[in-house]
Structure 1
Amino acid sequence: MSVQQTGSGPKASAAAPITARRAATRQRLLTAAAAVIAERGANGASVEAICEEAGFTRGAFYSNFSTKEDLLYALMQDKHQFLLDGIRRILDETAHAPVPAGADVIDDLVDKVLAANPVDRQARLMETEIGLYMVRNPEQAPVLQQVMQPFHDELARLVMEGLARAGRRLTVSTEDALTLLIAGYETGTTHLWFGPHPGEQSELDACRRALTLIIKSMSEPV
């Protein structure tokens, strides 16, 4: 399957600038795809269903994405960018701000990052379904790794910056640290929607505690 696309993605062309109209069309397709995938799953989200939800023809779809897989990769990249932007913003905003009295630096950063990156039910369903799609289609693994690598590299840098802010260092490899953090985040934000009180503050608090525990268990004071 082709993984090239003309809009954005692992092999996007830099030769053709995206017009405002085309960018708006692309965003409508991504928004529609997220809704359809959350409702029907990634396998059940046909190009036709996505176009119908967006109010476009197949021509509009294929002028932005070569295949449905290209659109899935774009959704993942947008998700990653949103998360990274939120973490960067928190680190910038707290660079010279005092930690609230009685608070721990790690606790405070995790709290702020989760608040800056809300995960609604549709987003969690979409992310889970895309993950399942990749498991069911292992031939996509090389492209998935290519898509994920810039995210992993920047997340590693931000994690190290946050730990330095807290006066801590990793006691495990960076790769293992990212695996633990991503697993904790995905599990925590999934439980947020099927715990005893779906979507409520108590479930978010449980996610926050788990992430804080993971970070502290794999690091130590400098």
Structure 2
Amino acid sequence: MTIRLTRPQQVERNRGLLLDAARSVFLERGYAGATLEAIADEAGFSKGVVYSQFAGKADLFLALLERRIADRAEENARLVAEHAGVDALRALLRVNARRAAEAADWGRLLIEFRVVAARDPALNARYAQLHTRTRDAFARAITDALAKDGLVPAYPPETFAQLIFAIDTGSTLEHAADPDALPTELLEDLVTRLVGPA
């Protein structure tokens, strides 16, 4: 017996297939090299199906980024629940370093998109909203974890999170040139020096 999907179920299934295809094409070709035609082909749809779900390539990328942000925030929350203080901060940094190593292409893709978005005020504003949400969630996770051991970052939580993100972005670029640059232990040492008693 074949179970027919309802219209909303079909729409959601198609959206998921398009996001999976977009991830594959973006990682393979980069943001500039990816096309909606290639993404539609990868998903097994016409370009019209892509436009029925997304306004264009940037919209598709931002939806993909939003899904990734939600997944990472969930994982960060689990880590903070399992660890406290500097141990939690180190765990967050290690997991982030592992993610970066396993998905180096994603880090470079995100940097490429950020450069494109920086030249388009409307797109940059959309990206900035997601980035702010990510930064704020990360800042809360770090603050909660450190507070368990009576610790605080040397800077306001949002600034502390920005510093970690900036180090991560710079590290991605350094690793593209030299995979052995900036070992995780060095970054952990640097960041944990910015934490002290409340």
CA distance, structure 2, for counterparts of residue 194 and residue 182 of structure 1: 19
Shift of 1:71: 0.9
Bigger shift: 77-86 or 126-135?
126-135
1:109 paired residue among 76, 80, 91: 91
**1:221 aligned partner, one-letter code:** P
Shift of 1:44: 2.5
C-alpha offsets along residues 52-92 of structure 1, whole Å, 9 cap, x if unaligned? 22221112111211222211211221221122111101122
CA distance, structure 2, for counterparts of residue 206 and residue 114 of structure 1: 13
**1:110 aligned partner, one-letter code:** L
SS at match of 2:33: coil
CA distance, structure 2, for counterparts of residue 106 and residue 94 of structure 1: 5
The structure where helix makes up a greater share of residues is 2
| Identity, % of aligned positions | 25
Q: How does 1:25-40 map to 2 (within 5 A)?
A: 25-40=14-29
CA distance, structure 1, for counterparts of residue 81 and residue 71 of structure 2: 15
Q: Tell me what 1:218 maps to.
A: 194
Cα RMSD after superposing both structures: 2.9
Shift of 1:117: 4.2
Shift of 1:192: 4.5
The 8 Å contact of residues 15 and 53 in structure 2, kept in 1 or not, is answered as yes
1:180 paired residue among 163, 170, 188: 163
**Structure 2: gaps spanning 5 or more residues:** 1-5
Alignment CA distance shift 1:217-1:94 (3 Å) = closer
Q: Tell me what 1:152 maps to.
A: 135
SS at match of 1:169: strand
Taking structure 2 as the reference length, what is the TM-score of the superposition? 0.79
Shift of 1:161: 0.9
How many residue pairs were aligned?
192
The 8 Å contact of residues 171 and 220 in structure 1, kept in 2 or not, is answered as yes
Q: Tell me what 1:137 maps to.
A: 120
Q: Tell me what 2:3 maps to.
A: none
Bigger shift: 147-156 or 71-80?
147-156
1:60 paired residue among 45, 49, 53: 49
Shift of 1:49: 1.9
**Structure 1: gaps spanning 5 or more residues:** 1-16, 198-202
C-alpha offsets along residues 161-192 of structure 1, whole Å, 9 cap, x if unaligned? 12213431122123321210111223334544
